[in-house]
Structure 1
Amino acid sequence: MAANCVSVFGAGSWGTALAILLSQGQRPAVLWGHNPDHQAALAGARCNEGYLPGIAFPDSLRIEADIATAVTASPLLLIAVPSHVFRETLKRIRPFLQAGQKIAWASKGLEPDTHQLLHTIAEQELGEQYPLAVVSGPTFAREVASGLPTAVTVSSRDSAFAEQLAARLHTETFRAYTGTDVVGVEIGGAVKNVLAIAAGIADGLGFGANTRAALITRGLAEMSRLGQRLGADADTFMGLAGLGDLVLTCTDDQSRNRRFGKAIAAGNSAEQAFTDIGQVVEGAKTARVLHELAASAGVDMPISEQVYQVIYANHDPHKAVRDLLQREQKAE
């Protein structure tokens, strides 16, 4: 086990980008993925042509198909898988964990069946003996892998671990801030994906910049309402994991969720939009969870609710926007 090595679990675009980042400057890193054939292709090409074409792997990045080897290779494990397979990934990792290891994740979302935040799942599956942290913020995988300036938040109830992980992520172009509000960071990372679908729908319908700005602003308000109801700090939503990530995903077509919304606005079915995008659209899954979670928590989330209605109840996108505009007038 190399002292400065980090093992990344999840060989999609985000996991690959993080592995490239972590292996810069000849620092050791391991990238594991669940598909052996895909891992063999990555090892042979020294590039993830399917997700990040043209971006070569640093020499210090090792591609690994065996999960036991990947777990035992590093004292620090970073999980970057879709939220709906987060628990399954922890279950696969757990038998090989060793004393002193630390676990972080850069996954965003809520567990579909239980509505649970990812740190709760980690505590259930791993117990309390391993320090835990979440990495979130306004990040597009290609820009991180290309070395473009980026900033994120590392949040953990273990401040020493947050600082250690932030230092390990740091490069000349990548900056990590630290905090302790795990709940707020996770809520921000989940809800912004749903709001990005709303922004994509609105832009796809041609409603313009005024509408987009209103959606971002009022979306931030409902994100904060839910977060505070679940114990988060309101200030978190004004930072990188809240407003920063929300602006990013609502305004740039590198966002799968925004592209999904635009496809829906163009008259495509959800199934066709999923096929065309070819990657997991976290916001579509999260919209259903938020519909149920907001109801059970007694939190008003009108924009997220209309996204749910469009995707799962065949609500007309034009009518969804009209319904939002015709809500009862009230003070901001």
Structure 2
Amino acid sequence: MNSSNICIIGAGSFGTALANSMALNRQNEILLYSIEPDVVSDINKNHENSKYLLHTRLCERISATAEIEDAMRCDMLMLAIPSRHVIDFVLKNKPVFEKAKLVINLAKGFGRDGKNIAEDLEENLTVAVGSLKGPSFASELINHTPTAFTFSSRDTLFFGEMMQVLKGTGLHLDFTTDIRGVEILSIAKNVYAIVLGIIDATFNSANSRFLVFTRAVNEIRSILKRFGADPETIFNYCGIGDLGLTALNDLSRNRTMGLFIGKGFFTGDLSESIVLEGKQALMTLASSVAPKGFNPEFPILCNLRRLLEGNISPGEFVSEIVSN
């Protein structure tokens, strides 16, 4: 693979930040695709993306386009668009993706019909598919802060090629062939970030925080088993690393929502108030592991569903979570 031909599809904050880091490797020529003409113009003319990342100068080797056909000259296509749009976008532009050697999913969330995105892509494309996930805030990535990701593909040869692409960029990789596990972990961490937010709002205690964090890790391992993934994948960057970042850092929207719930800011029907990806992920995961309502193997997940459906109060939720 020619590592200089890379297209990141989606020029929001994360796609742009990743492009700026990857451009530190002078062998990489990075193309950003956006449906927003003002973003494309800003990147090409001013070397900025002021709509999503203020006061940040981008590498001049990054170019942008609003024509998806321009991606056909790239060997590696990386999907950084919202998870709910990924599969429809790929199918609409399937000839573009079939020209690539490797398509990598960056989106964190379920795709169509509760499927994980990478495996849905594998079902619909004949080219190789990978997943890249890890503890990464765009606001730090854009400043070239050392950042870690897990790369996953069925073919181990692509790991070596990814290492070459990211050489000298400050981006660090580990690897697994467990694509399903990587995808599920990127979804589950949003759910447990809400939980840790509620716990921290209630106790503001390191002891309580890590009591629940440890239980969350074990419960996520059980989720991985239930989905037929490798529970050991949680020890990759995409596992404990991304869970820790999302659940313990106040830049996380899902953790912040948990803090608001724990402090009593939502006094009405929580099921109507909360629309974050963490809630959406919760409902899909819970319907898979606890279709009959409550499964004692997954007490955190099931009790959070009860809370967000309005069946228990935040105080009752906390009591259930910290009890033996």
TM-score (norm 2): 0.88
1:240 paired with 2:237, answer: yes
Contact persistence 2:31–2:65 (CA under 8 A) = yes
Within 5 A, what are the aligned runs for 1:27-106?
Answer: 27-69=28-70, 71-99=71-99, 101-106=101-106
Following superposition, the deviation at residue 229 of structure 1 comes to 2.2
Q: Name whichever of 52-61 and 308-317 sits farther off.
A: 308-317
Structure 1 residues 65 and 212, CA gap change in structure 2 (3 angstroms): same
Q: Is residue 281 of structure 2 the alignment partner of residue 282 of structure 1?
A: no
1:168 is displaced (CA, Å) by: 0.9
| Cα drift, residue 108 of structure 1 | 1.5
In structure 2, the CA distance between the partners of 1:264 and 1:121, relative to structure 1 (3 Å rule), is: same
Residues 263-290 of structure 1: CA distance to partner in whole angstroms, max 9, x if unpaired?
333444567776xxxxxx4322211111
Specify the code of the residue in structure 2 equivalent to 1:294.
V
Runs of 4 or more consecutive aligned structure 1 residues displaced over 6 Å after TM superposition = 270-274
Identity across the alignment (%)? 29
Higher mean alpha-carbon deviation, 220-229 vs 313-322, is at 313-322
Partner of residue 308, structure 1 = 305
Q: Which residue of 2 aligns with 1:119?
A: 118
Following TM superposition, by how much is the alpha carbon of 1:244 offset from its aligned partner in structure 2, in angstroms?
1.4
Q: Which amino acid aligns with 1:284?
A: K
Segments of structure 1 that go 5 or more residues without pairing to the other structure are: 275-280
Q: Please, what is the CA RMSD of the aligned residues?
A: 2.5
| 1:9 aligned residue | 9
Q: Residues 189-225 of structure 1, C-alpha deviation per residue, up to 9 Å, x if partnerless? A: 1111110111112222344222211221111111111
Match of 2:107 in 1: 107
Is the 8 Å Cα contact of residues 167 and 176 (structure 1) preserved in structure 2?
no
Q: For 1:96 and 1:137, how far apart are their aligned partners in 2?
A: 27
Comparing 233-242 with 90-99, which one deviates more in the overlay? 90-99
The residue type equivalent to 1:61 in the other structure is: I
Match of 1:137 among 127, 134, 137: 134
Moved more, 85-94 or 74-83: 85-94
8 Å Cα contact 1:181/1:232 also seen in 2: yes
Instruction: Confirm or deny that 1:291 pairs with 2:290.
Output: no
Distance in structure 2 (CA, Å) of the matches to 1:137 and 1:3: 21
SS in 1 for 2:64: strand
Aligned to 1:278: none
CA distance change for structure 1 residues 186 and 2 in 2, over 3 Å: closer, same or farther?
closer
- Counterpart amino acid of residue 155 in structure 2: D
SS of 1:288's equivalent in the other structure is helix
Cα 1:68/1:309, change in 2 over 3 Å: farther
Matches within 5 A, 1:121-270: 121-126=120-125, 129-269=126-266
Residue 97 of structure 1 aligns to a residue in which SS?
helix
1:52-109, CA deviations, whole angstroms, 9 ceiling, x for partnerless residues? 222221001111111222x213110011222222212222331323445210111112
Once the two structures are TM-superposed, the CA of residue 314 in structure 1 deviates from its matched residue by: 6.4
1:42/1:308 CA distance change after superposition, 3 Å: farther
Cα deviation code 1:274-318 (max 9, x no counterpart): 6xxxxxx43222111112121249783222223333334364222
Secondary structure in 1 matching 2:162 = helix
Offset of 1:2 from its aligned partner?
A: 7.1
Q: Letter of the aligned partner of 1:52 in structure 2?
A: L
Unaligned runs of 5+ in 2: none
SS of alignment partner, residue 154 of structure 1: strand
Report SS of the residue matched to 2:52.
coil
Count of residues in correspondence between the two structures: 317
Q: Greater shift after overlay, 218-227 or 261-270?
A: 261-270
Q: 1:67/1:307 Cα in 2 relative to 1: closer, same or farther (>3 Å)? A: farther
Q: 1:191 to 1:53 in 2, by over 3 A?
A: same
Cα–Cα, structure 1 residues 2 and 321, in superposed 2: closer, same or farther, change >3 Å?
same
How many Å separate the matches in 2 of 1:272 and 1:292?
20
Q: Which amino acid aligns with 2:278?
A: G
Q: For residue 77 of structure 1, give the secondary structure of its aligned residue in structure 2.
A: strand
In 2, Cα distance between equivalents of 1:74 and 1:150 = 24
- What SS is found at the alignment partner of 2:135? coil
